[in-house]
Structure 1
Amino acid sequence: MAKPDNRADNVEHLQQSINNTIKNMEESEAYLDEHADEISPQERETLQSKNERREKSLSGFRNEIEDEAEHQS
């Protein structure tokens, strides 16, 4: 049997995901800044691509928070 849809803490979970994503982006950028001359171009491209995907995820998370706020009103 399916569990009922409990949306009470969705915004909290989404905010935690946003915080974690921002932290990962900042750590990745700091790593790139510190080790730019030590890493391969491929590794640099991989990290930059990850951060681009993280940016898109942040936008999605923020849109979901807006949707949740509308449903809670």
Structure 2
Amino acid sequence: MAKKDDRSNNVERLQSMVENTEENIREAQSTMENEHLSEQDKQAIQAKNEKRNQSIEAFKNEIADEQGDRENGRI
């Protein structure tokens, strides 16, 4: 039998994901300050941070959707 979809904590879980991703961005920015880092590595970090920022936007959109569902009694 399939397990029921429990969305009751999705907003909190997604918010935690946003916070973790923001922390990863800060750590990556700090790493980029290393003078021994190659330009190629710096570019790779920048590209990864761009993807992280896109993920954060997607998480925030999903949070808004989930919050709306909560407010409208769909969760």
Give the C-alpha shift of residue 41 in structure 1: 1.3
Count of aligned pairs between the two proteins: 71
1:27 is aligned to 2:20: no
Structure 2 counterpart of 1:45:
43
Long gaps (5+) in structure 2: none
Q: Which 4+ runs in 1 deviate beyond 3 A?
A: none
Q: Which has the higher helix share?
A: 1
Percent identity over the alignment is 39
Q: Give RMSD over aligned pairs.
A: 0.8
Q: Which structure 1 residue ranges, 5 or more long, are not aligned?
A: none
CA deviation after TM superposition for structure 1 residue 42, in Å? 1.2
Q: Secondary structure at the match of 2:37?
A: coil
